[in-house]
Amino acid sequence: MPLHLTTLPDHPCVYLPNRSAMMRAFAITELDPTLHHEFMNAGFRRSGRIIYQPVCRGCRQCLPLRVPVDRFQASKSQRRCWRKNQDLIVSEGPPQATDEKFDLYQRYQSTWHDKADETDRQSFESFLYESPVNTREFCYRDPSGQLLGAGICDLCPESLSSVYFYHDLQHAHRGLGVFSALYEIETARQRAIPFYYLGFWVEGCLSMTYKAQYRPHEILHPDGVWREVVG
């Protein structure tokens, strides 16, 4: 497809300290699902209507990670988390930005990322609720109907890709991040979708270590080959 990739200016790396990062990206209003999967297969990710890929000078630490759905085996702790959350009511549908979700997102950003002053409604919607691809939203509620979490995923015939998950940190004991990933993997399995994409894994970044706990998984190496991680 005709494509103009724009290399964005350097900015501080959000994953590793004392490093700068660089992205190449393009904006698009609509993208065919098969092409979208091919971009992910080549190491691109999506944020709003932007499709991007890290191209940092002298660094290739951002490695895409995916789970082969038919071979995934939950660990003991993951199975415990699954059982702990069986009382939750999960709904799936087109992404819809609501006041309830924005309030949850603001609280999540304020507590987890200390970004209370940056969470305006427009950026919330452009980041999570504007998409050029087939995107689905999973909402997680307790038996009383309280919204505990919301996950945004992109759906392709060959893949289900986790874009973002925000949740109520007052319910941290539930392990909602783990449960949402398990639920999305199970959704992919039921629909015979072969791969579940978890985004970038960065060695040395503590906030990214959880992704390697979903096994087996595959890593896209800088030579363009997906290789399974053993152990």
Please state, rounded to an integer, the average pLDDT across all residues of the chain. 94
- Spatial strand order of the sheet with 226-229 comes to 89-93, 135-141, 147-156, 159-167, 195-202, 62-68, 217-220, 226-229
Taking only the tens place, the pLDDT of each residue in 39-48 is 999 999 999 9
Question: Is residue 50 situated within a structural domain?
Answer: no
Query: Is pLDDT above 80 for 115?
Result: no
Question: Is residue 138 situated within a structural domain?
Answer: yes
Mean pLDDT of 121-137: 97
Question: Is residue 216 situated within a structural domain?
Answer: no
Question: Is residue 208 situated within a structural domain?
Answer: no
| Range of the structural domain that residue 191 is part of | 65-200
Taking only the tens place, the pLDDT of each residue in 188-200 is 999 999 999 999 9
136: domain CATH number? 3.40.630.30
Question: Is residue 40 situated within a structural domain?
Answer: no
**pLDDT exceeding 90 applies to what percent of the chain?**
91
Taking only the tens place, the pLDDT of each residue in 54-71 is 999 999 999 999 999 999
**219-227: long-range contacts, CB 8 A cutoff, minimum separation 24:** 219/63, 219/64, 219/65, 220/41, 220/43, 220/63, 220/64, 220/65, 220/66, 221/63, 222/60, 222/63, 224/42, 226/41, 226/66
Query: Cβ distance 43 to 128 under 8 Å?
Result: no
Considering its fold, how many domains does the chain have in total? 1
Count of C-beta atoms within a 10 Å radius of residue 179:
25
Q: Give the global pTM.
A: 0.95
Residue 40: is it exposed, middle or buried by C-beta count within 10 angstroms (0-12/13-18/19+)?
Answer: buried
Look at 64 and 4; give whichever has higher pLDDT.
Answer: 64
Question: Is residue 131 situated within a structural domain?
Answer: yes
Question: Is residue 211 situated within a structural domain?
Answer: no
Question: Is residue 77 situated within a structural domain?
Answer: yes
